[in-house]
Amino acid sequence: MIDFSTVTELPGNLASAEQLEMLHTRYHWAREFCRDKEVLEAACGPGWGLGYLAEKARRVVGGDYLESNVRIANSHYQGRVEMLQFDAQNLPFPDSGFDVLILFEAIYYLPEPKKFLAEAKRVLKPGGILLICSANREREDFNPSPYSVKYYNAAELKELLEGNGFAAEIKVGFEAGRKGPLQKTVTLVRKTAVALHLMPKTMKGKALLKRIFYGKLKPLGMEIDTGVPVRALSPAPPSPVTNFKVLYAIARKL
């Protein structure tokens, strides 16, 4: 069993302003699909967005592979949302039980993503929606997680979803193309560190570099910081998509 805690954003970890905006943006985007719906989030870590989603949804259930994350979420929410331990590739729920299924920053860890998609189809109601957020491997300074299995570009992610029973639309966010002198220097250093395999492998190690390049960092709380800005998303351009950091998929069950 892999200990994903070293690469998971956890309460108390130090985060840059952009990192906080990424958290808020993905859940703000998802929340628009959750009004009065039955919602399941798989691989939700310590449950950052569960309370935020629960403000709109009829019911929210969260789950994670790590028992430690389940403990953190249950301790914080105290029954406000349901939190269980499970593998995203084996969802412990009956057929057609949810309107919305969420998988954020986790598809690249799955050894069998097609098995997850089969499970997603099974637990979603007719016309149900699967929302996926993932790092874009085509950005020029992309740095893969040490436990990742496969990252998808925009075209591959759409093909994967549409080949497994979903109609998919891909969006992009967090543009990386507009850079001043400082941003260009940061990108160059990051690319060099990635090429030489010098990038830290843990969230704590990455926080040190972020402090050097981005200045003062802010500790992550128990839930997302809704006081930070939300970024707009755009339709994905044709691959290669080199100037956006994040991919967002809206997949409707056929």
Instruction: Identify the band that residue 29 occupies on the pLDDT scale cut at 50, 70 and 90.
Output: very high
Instruction: Identify the band that residue 71 occupies on the pLDDT scale cut at 50, 70 and 90.
Output: very high
Write the pLDDT tens digit of every residue in 160-208.
999 999 999 999 999 986 555 555 555 555 555 555 554 555 555 555 5
Q: Which domains does the chain have, with CATH numbers?
A: 4-253 (3.40.50.150)
Is the CA virtual torsion 45, 39, 49, 187 positive or negative? positive
Write the pLDDT tens digit of every residue in 160-169.
999 999 999 9
Instruction: Identify the band that residue 43 occupies on the pLDDT scale cut at 50, 70 and 90.
Output: very high
Copy the structure tokens of residue 139. Answer: 């950005």
Q: Indicate the range of 41-55, 115-129, 164-178, 188-202 predicted with least confidence.
A: 188-202
Whole-prediction pTM:
0.88
**Geometric angle at alpha carbon 13, from 8 and 19, rounded to 5°:** 75
b/e 140-153 (16+ beta carbons within 10 angstroms → b): ebbbebeeeeebbb
Residues facing 85 on adjacent strands: 64
Write the pLDDT tens digit of every residue in 213-252.
556 899 999 999 999 999 999 999 998 999 999 999 999 9
| Non-local CB neighbours of 32 within 8 Å, separated by 6+ positions | none
Is the CA virtual torsion 209, 141, 227, 44 positive or negative? negative
